[in-house]
A = this chain, B = another copy of it.
Amino acid sequence: MGTPQLTKNQSLVMGALAHSDGPMSAYTILDKLRDHGFRAPLQVYRALDKLLEYGLVHRLESLNAFVACTCPHEHEHDHGVTAFTICEGCGQVTEFHDEGIEQRLSALVRAQSFKTEKTTIEIRGHCKSCA
């Protein structure tokens, strides 16, 4: 059960995100895809739901926006906790993963007897170029 073949709409949304410099809101994606027959937000949101499920796309909660996953590895298994730096200047988003963070959070949460389903880590600030 890896990533299934994408449907037409899913491919279009994936393509839009993959070729974008930075994160895009669902409505921005919609606008980019009007020429390809997209007319309504739901067409985008439905595709995004699947792409998120497949792990091809991440949602940035603090921006209400979406980015293509930049993980080098295959998307066939859940990659663990994903963290992002988000530059307020140029909009650049960098995805990264760290085993240390993951373990530390896991320990803290275990101490609460809390069962984690999804972890959001987003760091807003300025990148090297925009400092």
Contacts and interface: CB of A to CB of B under 8 A. Distances in A.
A4 B26 CA distance: 40
A19 interface: no
Chain A interface size band reads 20 to 34
Contact of A123 (B88, B109, B113): B109
A120 B124 CA distance: 8
A53 B112 CA distance: 29
Contacts of A124: 116-120
Interface of A: 61-62, 83, 85, 87-88, 94, 96, 98, 100-101, 104-105, 108-109, 112-128, 131
Given A88-B117, A119-B124, 13 more contacts: A83-B108, A85-B112, A94-B112, A96-B108, A105-B123, A114-B127, A114-B128, A115-B131, A116-B123, A116-B125, A117-B124, A119-B122, A121-B121
A108 B115 contact: no
Contacts of A88: 117
Contacts of A121: 105, 119-121
